[in-house]
Amino acid sequence: MILLCIIFIYMLGIRIGTYGIFKKLGIEQPWKAFVPVLCSNEWQQIIKQPSWWTWMLFIPGVNLFYVASQLTEISTAFRRHGFWEHFASVMFAFVYIPFLGFSLNEKFIGPGGVKEGQPPLNRSAVREWADAIVFAIVAATLIRIFVAEAYMIPTPSMEKTLLVGDFLFVSKFHYGARVPNTPLALPFVHHTVPVLNCKSYSELIKLPYKTLPGFQKVKRNDMVVFNFPAGDTVVLENQAPSYYDIIRYTAFSNHVDYTTARQMVWSDPNQHVAARPVDKRENYIKRCVAVAGDKLEVKDGVLYINDAPAYRPEQLYTPYMIVFKEGMIPTQEKIEELEMENISNRLGALPANHFVVLMTKQHVEELRAMKITTSLDPFYYRKGEIQEPVENIFPNDTLRYKWNVDNFGPVVLPKKGWTITLTDSIYKQYERAIHVYENNVVEQRNGKFFVNGQETSTYTFKMDYYWMMGDNRHNSQDSRYWGFVPEDHVVGKAWFIWMSYAKDADNFFKKIRWSRLFSSIHGRWAPDDKKFTE
């Protein structure tokens, strides 16, 4: 509501000011100032620009440049062409344009700030560059916030769909651009200033979660960029594992409880713990496999949504237990050709010639055809088998939930307006959503639940939640480890790949993956088939 009020005041101020300018110039129908297209047409005539420029209002991103340029041109036409005057004409247009329109001392000179027949204004090279740089920074920042943002795939969690070295654009407008929680921030950096290693933002102004209208909602199989939910707290010197995993491993390795482990981490002089607002948490990209209200379950390595097998990416990496015949282990060259990723070290000591590797079905069949194995079978953790004694599988409670990445759930994703009955077991699944994401104080006393001081036996969710998983499911830190992704953490929809670079290739031309350039991500790797989405 606050954002809508700000936008309304900003636009209304411009319209009122434009009405005053139209009257000052003797335009017969000054009411056109309140009709967007008609207003723009009049502006083009005033500043002597082509009338077709009006159509730029309808091009996302371009329209931001267009409006800003029109505001500065109007300011110049009143011979207000100083740097700060141009800055005010854009940033404070809701008061600046009315000032030009209704002040008796402000005279319209003409397009470019000169009368007809006079030479144009002389501006120094420094001023021209300053105007261009500031305008470019402001425009690029607005585009990055509200239209699209560049992103690079840093890890192999989405192999073989999105590859390390893929450079893509993330659309902000598909789901509706999110208004920054921390608007006071340096442009073009996320949460940390490079080299200086300090915060790139200030929390003096903090805005609530709001989005602009979007074209669609997050759907199953969409590839989504989102803020890492467990990234609300970080150990600055060791950000690869989550803060919560660090606490768990500290507790396990030192044989202490979580409270003591937390004190140990916070008191370590070599570690600095910091909290981050939602929009400054790390960006992750995964496939949304389930949406609010869905029932999700993984059984023997197979994902089920609402009791039906979920969409399986064509080149999904899955683990296989392979036993090679004596002396017939493939060469390193053949291993690379079959794109085998050895993950045996995660399982401790294995017998000779036994390996657990990640492979695609296609390459498994090629390996079978070589007839160098005595067995080649899918591998998965058995139901009830704990992967490791550390409680790092959601909901991080091995007493009640003996889940692992291959046998997980069932769990139902919270949906806005959905009410649950609070019990010890149920609350554990939704504890973080209720307490952290929806900002409630929850206490349990004498077997009863108190939410924000009020005794209750139920809870109604305020947001929708999603479940994100990597296509490379045994090499992906995803929702199976840290749970639900709230709607206010969604950044945008993976749009298209504009560059793809394989740094390990032999030469420059091989380094560029030409077939992936300008690929539409959802047209190629995210089918919208009803049998997978209903």
| Domain locations in the chain as residue ranges | 2-116, 297-378
Contacts of 3 (CB under 8 A, 6+ apart): 179, 207, 210
Q: What is the dihedral of CA 30, 34, 38, 43, to 10 degrees?
A: 70
**Would you say residue 117 has pLDDT above 60?**
no
Average pLDDT over residues 214-224: 93
Give the pLDDT band of residue 114 (cuts 50, 70, 90). low
The pLDDT-based confidence of 302 (bands split at 50, 70, 90) is very high
Query: Does pLDDT of 449 surpass 50?
Result: yes
CB distance 224 to 151 below 8 Å: no
Residue 530 pLDDT exceeds 80 = no
Q: Does residue 298 have a pLDDT over 70?
A: yes
Give the pLDDT mean for 390-417. Answer: 92
Summarize pLDDT for 146-160 with one digit per residue, the tens.
888 989 998 888 988
pLDDT digits (tens, 9 = 90+) for 363-375: 999 999 999 999 9
Picking from 289, 358, 260, 247, the residue whose alpha carbon sits closest to that of residue 527 is 289
Whose tokens are 């929806």? That residue is: 438
Q: How far apart are CA 507 and CA 489, in angstroms?
A: 39
pLDDT score at 121: 62
Q: What are 202-218's pLDDT values in tens digits?
A: 999 898 998 988 889 99
pLDDT band per the 50, 70, 90 thresholds, residue 120: low
- Say whether pLDDT at 133 is over 80: no
Question: Smallest Cα–Cα separation from 73: which of 27, 118, 117, 42?
Answer: 42
Q: What is the pLDDT of residue 125?
A: 66
What are the residues facing 419 on neighbouring strands? Answer: 460
- Does the domain formed by 297-378 have CATH 2.60.120? no
pLDDT, residue 1, reads 47
Closest CA to 362 of 313, 303, 430, 417: 313
Predicted local distance difference test score (pLDDT) of residue 122: 64
pLDDT-based confidence at 385, cuts 50/70/90? confident
pLDDT by residue (tens digit) across 472-528? Answer: 888 889 999 999 999 999 999 999 999 998 887 777 777 899 899 888 898 788 776
C-alpha to C-alpha distance for 288 and 527, rounded to whole angstroms: 12
Peptide bond into 219 cis (omega under 30): no
Beta strands at 302-305 and 308-309: parallel, antiparallel or unpaired = antiparallel
3-state SS class at 412? strand
Q: What integer is the mean pLDDT of 121-139? A: 69
| pLDDT digits 0-9 by tens, 236-285 | 999 888 999 999 999 999 999 999 999 999 999 999 999 999 999 999 99
Mean pLDDT of the chain: 87
pLDDT at 227 over 70: yes
In the 8-state DSSP scheme, what is residue 436?
I
Check whether the bond before 319 is cis (ω within 30° of 0).
no
Q: Which of 488, 477, 491, 404 is nearest to 244 (CA)?
A: 477
The whole-angstrom separation of Cα 359 and Cα 368 is 12
Q: How far apart are CA 373 and CA 323, in angstroms?
A: 6
Answer with the residue of higher pLDDT: 528 or 81.
81
